[in-house]
A and B are shown apart, each in its own frame.
Chain A
């Protein structure tokens, strides 16, 4: 019995069965009134000017941190991407070895979540706006570098070699041969990273690195749900506008969509607009930097590291490493299955109703918007802390991201086959399942594999709240400032992430093989 293509995206949703069995046992009885009050407050957000003023201020800080972190990640990522391109080194010096070396080195910053970077930097240089910016820029820069080098290495070598052989100076040859084909993919990916940066900046705020996230956490903890919702709606408005702007630009400059299977024509006619947009970014970024009072020099004042504890490394090695790693992997699996399988399942469920998709869009937008630790805290009103709750929170967040992507893919796929089935009399759900999911299944699952690898990195975020896996141990070690434990934990995290990355790469290649 081998399931056919349209069923594949739905298979991970089988995780709902064990969830349905386990979750009722985790209820602690109370909390429904609180959750009811929270839900009711959605329609009655606070309009108090004092509250709104402080929320808008926090939102400004969050957006500013996101923008600066994003810009810096591009500034770091593009040159690093060039340095880790095999094509480039092979063409210029004849061997790809340096590229391999840079790639390996970049795996470390990439494998550590921005939150850990943020908390580490916080310990080292103290609370200041530059911390969040740097925390976003380091892992994002390494991610951009990887994407740039992958894009470059997928290009044909001949063009560059042709120019070099004709005696063109290397910089000019690089720009001419690699620039135009690289640009569409890079800009499309860059736009996506800006959306990620906004989410990350919000999350960093929840952990005290400044901005709206902090206010969201405080209002939740003091049960001021109406104020919480004012903040959430504001954030939603900003996030949706940003997403709309990014996808409008992507369409205008005819960049590839993320789930797109074929490449569209490269930029050309809109190059002047591109240059203008890039030029407009510079004063904007400088202004934001001033407004946030980012002071790079302050980053140089490090606090001294505390001495190693008496037992030396022995104490750190005593931690229950296997259990911690096992929990982290399990958490990843559950959350990924929930997110990957949940999106198509929900889409099928609402298929017969025209307003169903709009409702899903809203729920998914909220999922993307809510930092997972906040969702976990909300769930803790009802449930006892456990790995399942952490998985639920993390799964919901990623469901919002994958759901949007799936819907984009479904709507881009063209209605022909679905129409044919419907005009043959099949119902809306079956026509969607057979007509549209069949073609999308593989690319969606391939993206899901990539997402699973992101989720593995993100486990730290809920681990810090729901007390499970490496993440919770990390929090303890951080607050105890136990650097020996921290170092080992980070190494364990990095190792796990790299293994996961490799696994998801293999899965993706297998899925996309024609």
Chain B
């Protein structure tokens, strides 16, 4: 657990310092710095190809930047394999394709969130017997899912149910940082809204949420907005301070997808 910090501001959940990721021709990320504190729910905006996915991959540890520093709860990448796994477990990523394991039941999928803590024997046992049933039921309830779904194969669930199971699996990790890369893309409006509400709900303090969005029309509920274009940070401000001109500059003249008035 993080010790209470004497500093006036709470410690960061995630900090990026001068991140540089080279690409073909122009860099995918060019000197990006940002800080995320507990309770902050941040939307990452930008046209496609802006570097949003790269930034999230760096934030989640899948991609190591060529230069710059990544700190999770104030600490760099852990060295030992075990410490690294523990660090990684605190970062929960919601993938656009959810990446559930279709061949397994809901309960087995939920327990995938515990694999970082479990050794071999329990991980194998999880494939034979229902483990930690109570905890799994609780996490289903947290997401308004019927606890009786536990025994169902994931492949039989509806799209909305799958999404919730994926979030429940995330929460089983007990993450402090929630990341999501374009989670709303290719969803119908009702599902998109539902999912966004769930993420905002579970991204509250002590967690922090960083979510990338292609379109700036679902910003309600976020605390902060970050704009990324061609691998560079364009703006990083509270939602209330965001100006329409900033969005226009971000998306260029041609396509200004700002259908709703900003809150």
Chain A contacts to B: CB under 8 angstroms: 1-7, 352, 416-417, 419-427, 429-431, 433-435, 438-439, 441
Given contacts A423-B61, A438-B102, 14 further A-B contacts (CB under 8 A): A3-B127, A7-B124, A423-B62, A423-B91, A424-B89, A424-B115, A424-B173, A425-B85, A425-B115, A425-B173, A430-B123, A434-B101, A435-B101, A439-B101
Among the listed A420, A431, A438, which residue makes an inter-chain contact with B104, where contact means beta carbons less than 8 Å apart?
A438
Measured CB to CB, the nearest residue on chain A to B108 is A4
Which B residues touch A439, using CB under 8 A? 101-103
Q: B99 is contacted by which of A352, A416, A427 (Cβ under 8 Å)?
A: A416
Q: How far is the CB of B121 from chain A (nearest CB, A)?
A: 11
B97 pairs with A416, CB closer than 8 A:
yes
* 24 residue pairs from A and B, CB less than 8 Å apart: A1-B128, A1-B129, A2-B128, A5-B103, A6-B104, A7-B124, A352-B81, A417-B101, A420-B95, A424-B93, A424-B112, A424-B113, A425-B85, A425-B88, A425-B115, A426-B123, A427-B115, A427-B116, A430-B123, A434-B101, A434-B112, A434-B123, A435-B101, A441-B103
B46 interfacial by beta-carbon distance below 8 Å: no
- Considering the chains assembled together, what is the distance between the CA atoms of A427 and B88 in angstroms? 10
Q: How many whole Å from B120's CB to the nearest CB in chain A?
A: 7
What residues of B have a CB within 8 angstroms of the CB of A424 in the complex?
88-89, 91-93, 112-113, 115-116, 170, 173
Contact of A421 with B115 in the complex, beta carbons under 8 Å: yes
| B141 sits at the interface (CB 8 A) | no
Whether the pair A417, B103 counts as a contact (CB closer than 8 A) is: no
Complex: A422 Cα to B124 Cα, angstroms:
17
Bound Cα distance from A426 to B81, whole angstroms: 10
Given contacts A7-B127, A423-B62, A425-B116, contact A417 B104 (CB under 8 A): no
Report the minimum CB–CB distance from A408 to chain B (whole Å).
20
Taking a contact as CB atoms under 8 Å apart, the answer to whether A419 and B103 are in contact is no
A-side contacts of B101, CB under 8 Å: 417, 434-435, 438-439
- CB-CB < 8 A to B139: which residues of A? none
Which chain B positions have C-beta within 8 A of A425? 85-90, 115-116, 173
Contact of B105 with A by CB under 8 A:
yes
A7: contacting residue among B88, B95, B128, CB under 8 A: B128
CA distance A5 to B154 in the complex (A): 13
Which residue in chain B gives the minimum CB-CB distance to A429?
Answer: B120
In the bound complex, residues from chain A placing their C-beta under 8 Å from that of B173 are 424-425
Contact in complex: A4, B103 (CB < 8 Å): yes
- Contact residues in A for B88 (Cβ distance below 8 Å): 422-425
Complex CA distance for A509 and B87, rounded to whole angstroms:
44
Q: Chain B nearest CB: distance from A432 CB in Å?
A: 11
- CB distance B103 to A6 under 8 Å? yes
- Residues of chain A with a CB closer than 8 A to B116's CB: 424-427
Does B163 sit within 8 A of A, measured CB to CB?
no
Contact: A423 with B93, CB < 8 Å? yes
Residues of B within 8 Å of A419, CB to CB, are 62, 99
A416 to B57, CA, bound (A): 13
**B124 and chain A: residue at smallest CB distance:** A7
Contacts of A6 in B (CB 8 A): 103-104, 127
On B, residues with C-beta under 8 Å from A are 60-62, 81, 85-93, 95, 97, 99, 101-105, 108, 112-113, 115-116, 118, 120, 123-124, 127-129, 170, 173
Q: Tell me the nearest residue of chain B to A416, going by C-beta.
A: B99
Determine the distance from Cα of A426 to Cα of B88 in the docked complex, in whole angstroms. 8
Bound CA span A427–B120, Å = 10
**Minimum CB–CB distance for B15 against chain A, Å:** 18
Residues on B with C-beta less than 8 A from A5 are 103-104
User: What's the minimum C-beta distance from A83 to chain B, rounded to whole angstroms?
Assistant: 40
| Residues from chain A with Cβ under 8 Å of B123 in the complex | 426, 430, 433-434
**Distance, CA A426 to CA B119, complexed state (A):** 9
Bound-state Cα–Cα, A5 to B120, Å: 17
A residues in contact with B87, CB < 8 Å: 425
Chain A residues with CB under 8 A of B128: 1-4, 7
Indicate if the CB atoms of B112 and A421 lie closer than 8 Å: yes
Could you say which residues of chain A place their CB within 8 Å of the CB of B97? 416
Q: Among A1, A417, A420, A429, find the residue whose CB has the most chain B CB atoms closer than 10 A.
A: A420
How far, in Å, is A246 (CB) from chain B's closest CB? 31
Q: How far is the CB of A377 from chain B (nearest CB, A)?
A: 37
Q: Shortest beta-carbon distance, A189 to chain B, in Å?
A: 28
Asked whether A4 lies within 8 Å of B104 as measured between CB atoms, the reply is yes
Q: Decide: B93 and A420 in contact? CB cutoff 8 A.
A: yes
Minimum C-beta distance from B165 to chain A (A): 13
Q: Which of B62, B85, B93, B105 contacts A427 (CB 8 A)?
A: B85
Contact: A434 with B115, CB < 8 Å? yes
- Complex Cα distance, B70 from A264, in Å, reads 41
Chain B residues closer than 8 Å to A431, beta-carbon distance: 115
Query: Cβ of A4: which chain B residues have Cβ within 8 Å of it?
Result: 103-105, 108, 127-128
Which residues of chain A come closer than 8 Å to B93, judged between CB atoms? Answer: 420, 423-424
With A and B bound together, what is the CA distance between A504 and B113 in angstroms?
37
Instruction: Name the B residues within 8 Å of A1 (CB-CB).
Output: 128-129
Tell me the complex Cα distance, A419–B97, Å.
Answer: 12
Interface centre among B91, B112, B129 (most CB of A within 10 A): B112
Which of these, A2, A430, A434, A438, contacts B120 with CB under 8 Å?
A430
Residues of B close to A427: CB separation below 8 A:
81, 85, 115-116
Q: Which residues of B contact A434 (CB under 8 A)?
A: 101, 104, 112, 115, 123
A422 to B61, CA, bound (A): 10
| A4-B105, A5-B103 known; A430-B115 Cβ under 8 A | yes
Closest to B85 in A: A425
Name the distance in Å between A311's Cβ and chain B's nearest Cβ. Answer: 57
Write out the residue numbers on chain A whose beta carbons fall within 8 Å of the beta carbon of B118.
Answer: 430
CA of A201 to CA of B100, assembled, Å: 46
Nearest 5 Cβ contacts at the A-B interface: A425-B116, A425-B89, A426-B115, A5-B103, A420-B99
Complexed CA–CA distance, A83 and B173 (Å): 60
Contacts of A416 in B (CB 8 A): 95, 97, 99
Please report the C-alpha to C-alpha distance between residue A288 and residue B62 in the assembled complex, in whole angstroms.
53
